[in-house]
């Protein structure tokens, strides 16, 4: 067998989704433009457009999809988070997305194992394990995005593989569906045992594979990679090793098989103890040669991780931005724990460094470093936050490289080689020479302790010179790694579509033939992920030349914070997917309205994107091409204060009458057809807790502070719509705390900042508001806000203007401060004295985070006497209110809130504080008095009384 046969018949392709819907029901199968587009990419350089996508929820869904695919001859590509770098989660037939199977099924703390579903994200998994002092050892840098199914299938690894090994060393069992239609529990069996024989008898493909391995054991042994990591080929080496020890080690066969042998529905994973304390050292070397020797000196201290970045990598990500000295030739990150190892994968007798305390280890690190020519003393971090800061650049390295040049992009085609650890500086020197000869800029970084180098050249693949350099480099570097260094072409990323072509050269024709026999045994019809791992298709096939000129690295980091993805776990309902959809050539608002209107505009994607992409902004631009008519009418009404404000006050005065269960039910019915014009999901549910509307607006209650009444001063309080129209205590508290701190704020003339208007596409109206506000605010020295969205919008005003208007908007933006920024530090002139006496946690509003304000609100809360501050889990995640999204799609907004509710509950807080009146609406509605909801200004005001 060579390549899988041509599988999809032309007449079949249109009926695939319909066939699948008949078997799986309408909700789990999609083939519309946005879905197909979002699933046509992963984090690799490839694009393959599928015919249909199945979002599996159960084992039955998996079995039904495979049965159909076998019967109809349609390829199936299993998928988890789609963050692989090799094109192994894209395919031309059915994408079987198991990413929605996210459950932790069983946890045995005593025996340190867990049974999981393939869609569980690694960081989420580790969060669940943290209270038990446990974690999963292997940790790819993509840990916030990737899922366990993908990690298992790629045999992923990461910085801590040095201590814990790759995934293959951390698995007890895998439950996998085979194309024969049967389920197999792949676990470690005793060779020759009757039970083992029974398993083999019931699974002919397995029996054939084990027989092949026995027969060719010598060949397999002779070809076994002699380096510490390998994820290339099928792991027949692990099977032979097992047989040599009297076991049939089945997990070894399936870990790293990249969805080409079956579909995983469950796995039982080994867990390790979470280190009690860790320390990170950041060491900048002036000479590359010193790094190799230093690594050798550090290894006896049993580091958990040793990561290197070469000089060019440091240049490309920007030395100044990351505080890297100009003369650093390489930077080493070393992480240590002070405890004895837990018997992870690479456990042997404890080496001499084990058991030392953290200070003792750090003393030794300092002593070792003295031997070398460093740019400066090593930076050492023991606090979690500081350590995360040191790791930040390394973890986001690959997508950060996307910022470097609009055309030359980091291309993964020789990205994952492994050599003996003591030869890695030799490898780096060879690579520097090679790429210099090609006149190609390249970043080389990686897990130096394992000899695993990630080589990421920056190329414009649409340019002939660069394309040829890529093809030549692919062959030359892989060849050199294999022949001169005796290394592996793949440590952890998998073969995928990238390395498949090179496998016969790497392993030799005989072993490669054996791989093909194994593949044919498990997948005789060739439907399982064809084109991946076992394929003679050149690696240049399916390269996405269009996408590689776009700014998005498709790394998926934004998906990890996107609240909509969190709920739907599906690529067409995700930030990364939306980038792909709205920038695709076939995009049209009408064929993609469903997804374009689903973004809550939380801006979390923009906050985390290492490549500097703002997906939310792109989506808003698309909405602006089709502004919502009803929203236009409502904002038009709001723009007529003489009409709008009396109406609000009337509603405020009569709220006691109409805001009761029965009238609200009537109101819900009456408003339904009108709100339908906003979105098909829009409604004002009778059960939703509404904010208290103001019978007298804030500007009327504090008329003496308004500009209209002649009040003047250097500080303006931009209250925005919520604090003016709702009597929720925020505006009063803001004014009270500013006054206590010696500021008599002016309430300047103002219009809506524009945030809600922008979300409905009315950009001209946003510009009008912005223009009015810039005019009005220009004369003040400081503009204080109490609302997260107003803060961000005012700071973002320059984006709406050009020339002189832009300069004025920039000047205003410079002066905008959230109240927490104004009062943190020296700004808090009057010390609050009245003890609060409550446990308080903080919900960090998304727009304030996007405006870069995260620490001041927390610092301010901690300065209130008697506050027992607890940081809640997921403080930085969207609560789902998102301004009017709550009304636009109440059901989704409540699903998003579930996670926040759990985090607040688990924190044990009596009060949840926030910095935004809009978030307060969602929090109050979701918590229903279970936990008190307060703006930080209110808590501070109370502490003054
Ligand atoms: C910025 C960045 C950094 C990275 N750093 C690392 C790193 O440090 N170490 C590392 O090892 N990798 C790294 N990767 C690569 C990638 O994140 C990992 O390989 C990851 O484990 C893939 O997981 P996933 O959930 O995204 O899987 P996917 O990409 O969805 O799938 C990967 C493979 O698994 C198969 N698969 C998925 N689910 C199933 C299933 N249920 N049954 C059978 N097969 C299945 C797919 O068909 C595919 O072949 C990085 C990627 C990025 C973008
Ligand atoms: S938008 Fe940014 S974070 Fe999201 S996939 Fe693209 S590069 Fe990654
Ligand atoms: S703004 Fe929020 S909801 Fe929209 S794409 Fe970004 S993260 Fe997702």
At 866-902, the pLDDT tens digits run 999 999 999 999 999 877 888 999 999 999 999 999 9
The answer to whether residues 922 and 897 touch, using CB atoms and an 8 Å cutoff, is: yes
Element (H, E) at 658: helix 655-658
Name the band, by pLDDT with cuts 50, 70 and 90, for residue 754. very high
> pLDDT tens for residues 781-808?
999 999 999 999 999 999 999 999 999 9
Among 37-46, 104-113, 291-300, the least confident range: 291-300
Q: At what angle do helices 788-796 and 803-815 cross, to 10 degrees?
A: 140
Determine if ligand 1 sits within 6 Å of the CB of residue 209.
Answer: no
Over residues 584-604, mean pLDDT? 94
Answer whether residue 661 shows pLDDT above 50: yes
> pLDDT tens for residues 156-193?
998 888 889 999 999 999 999 999 999 999 999 999 99
- How many Cα neighbours within 13 Å face the side chain of 735? 18
Q: If you measure from the C-alpha of residue 624 to the centroid of ligand 2, how many angstroms do you get, rounded to a whole number?
A: 22
Percent of the chain with pLDDT over 70: 97
Average pLDDT, the chain: 93
Over residues 66-89, mean pLDDT? 97
The answer to whether residues 628 and 589 touch, using CB atoms and an 8 Å cutoff, is: no
The answer to whether residues 556 and 580 touch, using CB atoms and an 8 Å cutoff, is: no
Strand blocks (E) in 833-919: 839-842, 868-869, 911-914
Q: Whose CA is nearest to atom 8 of ligand 3?
A: 562
The answer to whether residues 867 and 841 touch, using CB atoms and an 8 Å cutoff, is: no
> pLDDT tens for residues 324-346?
899 999 999 999 987 544 333 34
- Residue that is written with structure tokens 């000899």 in the block: 451
Q: If you measure from the C-alpha of residue 85 to the centroid of ligand 1, how many angstroms do you get, rounded to a whole number?
A: 7
The answer to whether residues 928 and 859 touch, using CB atoms and an 8 Å cutoff, is: no
Measured over the CA atoms of residue 132, residue 134, residue 139 and residue 141, the dihedral's sign is positive
> pLDDT tens for residues 4-30?
445 665 556 669 999 999 999 999 999
Determine if ligand 3 sits within 6 Å of the CB of residue 607.
Answer: no
What pLDDT is stored for residue 394 in this prediction?
A: 83
Determine if ligand 1 sits within 6 Å of the CB of residue 141.
Answer: yes
Under the phi-then-psi rule, with left for phi > 0, alpha for psi from -120 to 50, and beta for the rest, what region is 584? beta
Pocket test for ligand 1, best of 50, 84, 120, 307 (most atoms within 8 A of CB): 84
Q: If you measure from the C-alpha of residue 116 to the centroid of ligand 1, how many angstroms do you get, rounded to a whole number?
A: 16
The answer to whether residues 87 and 53 touch, using CB atoms and an 8 Å cutoff, is: no
Determine if ligand 3 sits within 6 Å of the CB of residue 563.
Answer: yes
Instruction: Report how far Cα 904 is from the mean position of its chain's Cα atoms.
Output: 22
Q: What is the DSSP string of 224-293?
A: ---SS---SS--HHHHHHHHHTTEEEHHHHHTT-TTSS-EEEEEEEE-EEPPS-EEEEEEEES-HHHHHH
Name the band, by pLDDT with cuts 50, 70 and 90, for residue 2. very low
What pLDDT is stored for residue 9 in this prediction?
A: 58
**From CA 525, how far away is CA 90, in angstroms rounded?**
19
Answer whether residue 232 shows pLDDT above 50: yes
Label residues 757-771 b or e (16+ Cβ within 10 Å = b). bbbbbbbebbbbbbb
Q: Helix, strand, or coil here: 681?
A: coil
**From CA 343, how far away is CA 358, in angstroms rounded?**
20
**From CA 445, how far away is CA 312, in angstroms rounded?**
10
Element (H, E) at 785: strand 782-785
Determine if ligand 1 sits within 6 Å of the CB of residue 139.
Answer: no
Determine if ligand 2 sits within 6 Å of the CB of residue 579.
Answer: yes
Over residues 736-754, mean pLDDT? 95
User: 488 — phi, psi (to 5°)?
Assistant: -110, 150
Q: If you measure from the C-alpha of residue 519 to the centroid of ligand 1, how many angstroms do you get, rounded to a whole number?
A: 20
**From CA 617, how far away is CA 759, in angstroms rounded?**
10
Over residues 446-452, mean pLDDT? 89
Among 362-376, 385-399, 537-551, the least confident range: 385-399
What pLDDT is stored for residue 342 in this prediction?
A: 39
Element (H, E) at 631: helix 629-638
Spatial neighbors of 611 by CB under 8 A, at least 6 apart, are 399, 400, 402, 403, 551, 552, 553, 555
> pLDDT tens for residues 399-443?
788 888 889 999 999 999 999 988 988 999 999 999 999 999 999
Tokens coding 364: 């030794």
- Distances in whole angstroms, Cα of residue 2 to Cα of each of 6, 166, 490, 531, 536: 12, 29, 22, 10, 7
Instruction: Report how far Cα 446 is from the mean position of its chain's Cα atoms.
Output: 20
- Distances in whole angstroms, Cα of residue 729 to Cα of each of 470, 651, 697, 841, 858: 62, 18, 12, 19, 20
Answer whether residue 842 shows pLDDT above 90: yes
Instruction: Report how far Cα 696 is from the mean position of its chain's Cα atoms.
Output: 44
Determine if ligand 3 sits within 6 Å of the CB of residue 603.
Answer: yes
Q: At what angle do helices 788-796 and 917-927 cross, to 10 degrees?
A: 150
Pocket test for ligand 2, best of 556, 562, 571 (most atoms within 8 A of CB): 556
Q: Whose CA is nearest to atom 8 of ligand 2?
A: 555
**Judging by beta carbons within 10 Å of its beta carbon (0-12, 13-18, 19+), is residue 337 exposed, middle or buried?**
buried
Other C-beta atoms closer than 10 Å to the C-beta of 476 total 14
Determine if ligand 1 sits within 6 Å of the CB of residue 610.
Answer: no
What pLDDT is stored for residue 218 in this prediction?
A: 97
Q: If you measure from the C-alpha of residue 496 to the centroid of ligand 1, how many angstroms do you get, rounded to a whole number?
A: 10
Spatial neighbors of 664 by CB under 8 A, at least 6 apart, are 658, 686
What pLDDT is stored for residue 432 in this prediction?
A: 92
Over residues 540-548, mean pLDDT? 93
Over residues 578-602, mean pLDDT? 95
Over residues 590-602, mean pLDDT? 94
Over residues 745-766, mean pLDDT? 95
What pLDDT is stored for residue 113 in this prediction?
A: 98
Q: Whose CA is nearest to atom 7 of ligand 3?
A: 562
- Distances in whole angstroms, Cα of residue 39 to Cα of each of 69, 530, 572: 18, 16, 7
- Give the closest residue to 175 by CA, choosing from 95, 115, 104: 115
Determine if ligand 2 sits within 6 Å of the CB of residue 578.
Answer: no
Give the pTM. Answer: 0.94
Q: What angle do CA 267, 269, 272 make, to 5 degrees?
A: 165
- Distances in whole angstroms, Cα of residue 577 to Cα of each of 406, 565, 660, 692: 21, 10, 42, 38
Determine if ligand 3 sits within 6 Å of the CB of residue 609.
Answer: no
Answer whether residue 466 shows pLDDT above 60: yes
> pLDDT tens for residues 49-63?
999 999 999 999 999
Q: Whose CA is nearest to atom 11 of ligand 1?
A: 156
Name the band, by pLDDT with cuts 50, 70 and 90, for residue 347. very low
> pLDDT tens for residues 91-150?
999 999 999 999 999 999 999 999 999 999 999 999 999 999 999 999 999 999 999 999
Determine if ligand 2 sits within 6 Å of the CB of residue 399.
Answer: yes
**From CA 711, how far away is CA 495, in angstroms rounded?**
70
Instruction: Report how far Cα 339 is from the mean position of its chain's Cα atoms.
Output: 30
- Residue that is written with structure tokens 């006054």 in the block: 739
Other C-beta atoms closer than 10 Å to the C-beta of 894 total 18
> pLDDT tens for residues 619-645?
999 999 999 999 999 999 999 999 999
What pLDDT is stored for residue 355 in this prediction?
A: 64
Among 3-12, 389-398, 838-847, the least confident range: 3-12
Pocket test for ligand 3, best of 601, 623, 919 (most atoms within 8 A of CB): 601
What pLDDT is stored for residue 6 in this prediction?
A: 57
- Distances in whole angstroms, Cα of residue 791 to Cα of each of 3, 699, 775, 816, 916: 57, 19, 17, 7, 10
Q: Whose CA is nearest to atom 34 of ligand 1?
A: 150
Q: If you measure from the C-alpha of residue 209 to the centroid of ligand 2, how many angstroms do you get, rounded to a whole number?
A: 41
What pLDDT is stored for residue 316 in this prediction?
A: 86
Name the band, by pLDDT with cuts 50, 70 and 90, for residue 354. low
Name the band, by pLDDT with cuts 50, 70 and 90, for residue 549. confident
Spatial neighbors of 202 by CB under 8 A, at least 6 apart, are 182
Q: If you measure from the C-alpha of residue 152 to the centroid of ligand 1, how many angstroms do you get, rounded to a whole number?
A: 8
Q: Helix, strand, or coil here: 708?
A: coil
């Amino acid at each position: 067998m060579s390549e899988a046969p041509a599988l999809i018949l032309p007449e079949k392709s249109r009926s695939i989704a319909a066939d699948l819907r008949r078997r799986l029901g309408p909700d789990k199968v999609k083939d519309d433009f946005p879905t197909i587009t979002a699933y046509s990419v992963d984090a690799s350089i490839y694009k393959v457009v599928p015919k249909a996508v199945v979002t599996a929820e159960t084992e039955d869904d998996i079995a039904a999809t495979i049965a159909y695919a076998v019967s109809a001859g349609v390829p199936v590509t299993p998928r988890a988070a789609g963050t692989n770098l090799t094109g192994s989660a894209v395919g031309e037939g059915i994408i079987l997305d198991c990413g929605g199977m996210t459950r932790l099924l069983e946890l045995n703390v005593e025996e340190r194992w867990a049974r999981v579903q393939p869609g569980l994200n690694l960081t989420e998994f580790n969060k669940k394990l943290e209270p038990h002092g446990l974690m999963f050892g292997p940790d790819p840098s993509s840990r916030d995005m990737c899922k366990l199914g993908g990690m298992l299938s790629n045999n992923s690894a990461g910085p801590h593989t040095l201590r814990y090994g790759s995934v293959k060393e951390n698995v007890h069992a895998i439950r996998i569906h085979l194309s024969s239609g049967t389920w197999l529990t792949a676990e470690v069996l005793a060779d020759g045992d009757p039970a083992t024989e029974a398993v083999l008898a019931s699974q002919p493909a397995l029996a054939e594979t084990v027989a092949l391995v026995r027969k060719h054991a010598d060949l397999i042994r002779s070809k076994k990679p002699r380096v510490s990591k390998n994820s290339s080929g099928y792991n027949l080496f692990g099977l032979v090793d097992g047989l040599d020890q009297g076991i049939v080690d089945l997990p070894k066969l399936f870990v790293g098989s990249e969805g080409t042998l079956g579909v995983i529905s469950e796995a039982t994973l080994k867990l390790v103890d979470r280190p009690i304390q860790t320390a990170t050292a950041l060491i900048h070397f002036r000479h590359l040669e010193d790094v190799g020797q230093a690594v050798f000196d550090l290894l006896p201290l049993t580091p958990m991780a040793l990561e290197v970045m070469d000089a060019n990598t440091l240049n490309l990500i920007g030395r100044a931005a990351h505080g890297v000295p100009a003369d650093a030739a390489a930077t080493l990150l070393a992480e240590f724990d002070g405890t004895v190892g837990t018997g992870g994968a690479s456990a042997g007798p404890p080496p001499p460094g084990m058991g030392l305390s953290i200070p003792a280890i750090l003393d030794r690190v300092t002593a070792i470093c003295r031997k070398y020519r460093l740019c400066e003393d090593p930076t050492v971090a023991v606090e979690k936050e500081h350590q995360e800061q040191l790791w930040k650049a390394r973890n986001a390295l690959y997508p950060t490289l996307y910022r470097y040049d609009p055309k030359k992009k980091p291309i993964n085609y020789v990205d994952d080689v492994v050599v003996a650890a003591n030869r890695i500086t030799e490898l780096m020197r060879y690579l520097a020479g090679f790429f210099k000869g090609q006149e190609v800029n390249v970043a080389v970084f990686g897990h130096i302790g394992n000899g695993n180098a990630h080589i990421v050249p920056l190329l414009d693949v649409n340019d002939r010179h660069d394309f040829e350099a890529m093809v030549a480099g692919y062959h030359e570097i892989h060849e050199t790694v294999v022949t001169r260094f005796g290394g592996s072409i793949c440590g952890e990323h998998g073969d995928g579509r990238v390395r498949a072509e090179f496998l016969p050269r790497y392993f030799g024709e005989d072993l490669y033939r054996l791989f093909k026999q194994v593949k044919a045994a498990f997948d005789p019809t060739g439907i399982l992920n064809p084109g991946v791992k076992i394929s003679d298709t050149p690696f240049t096939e399916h390269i996405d030349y269009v996408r590689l000129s776009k700014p998005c690295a498709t790394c998926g980091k934004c998906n990890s914070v996107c609240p909509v993805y969190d709920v739907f776990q599906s690529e067409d309902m995700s930030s990364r997917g939306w980038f792909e959809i709205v920038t695709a050539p076939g995009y049209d608002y009408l064929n993609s309205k469903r997804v374009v209107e689903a973004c809550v505009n939380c801006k979390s994607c923009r906050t985390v994107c290492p490549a500097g992409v703002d997906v939310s902004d792109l989506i808003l631009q698309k909405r602006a091409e089709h502004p919502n008519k009803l929203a236009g009418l409502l904002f038009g009404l709001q723009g007529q204060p003489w009409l709008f404000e009396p109406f609000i006050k009337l509603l405020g005065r009569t709220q006691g009458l109409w805001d009761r269960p029965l009238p609200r039910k009537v109101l819900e019915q009456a408003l339904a057809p009108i709100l339908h014009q906003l979105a098909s999901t829009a409604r004002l549910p009778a059960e939703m807790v509404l904010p208290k509307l103001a019978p007298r607006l804030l500007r009327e209650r504090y008329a003496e502070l308004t500009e209209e009444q002649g009040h003047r001063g250097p500080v303006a309080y931009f209250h925005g719509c919520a604090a003016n129209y709702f009597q929720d205590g925020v505006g009063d508290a803001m004014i009270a705390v500013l006054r206590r701190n010696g500021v008599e704020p002016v309430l300047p003339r103002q219009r809506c900042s524009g945030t809600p208007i922008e979300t409905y596409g009315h950009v001209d109206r946003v510009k009008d508001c912005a223009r009015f506000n810039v005019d009005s605010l220009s004369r003040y020295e400081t503009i204080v806000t109490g609302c997260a969205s107003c803060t961000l919008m005012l700071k973002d005003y320059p984006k709406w203007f050009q020339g002189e208007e832009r300069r004025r908007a920039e000047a205003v933006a410079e002066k905008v401060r959230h109240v927490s920024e104004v009062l943190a530090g020296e700004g808090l002139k009057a010390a609050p004295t009245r003890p609060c006496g409550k446990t308080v946690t903080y919900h960090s509003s998304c727009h304030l985070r996007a405006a870069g304000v995260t620490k001041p609100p927390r610092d301010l809360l901690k300065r209130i006497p008697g506050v027992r501050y607890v940081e809640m889990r997921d403080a930085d995640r969207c609560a789902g209110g998102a301004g009017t999204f709550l009304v636009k799609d109440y059901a989704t907004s409540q699903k998003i809130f579930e996670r926040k509710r759990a985090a607040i509950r688990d924190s044990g807080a009596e009060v949840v504080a926030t910095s935004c009146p809009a978030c307060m609406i969602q929090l109050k509605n979701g918590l229903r008095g279970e936990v008190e909801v307060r703006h930080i200004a209110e808590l501070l005001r109370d502490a003054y009384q």
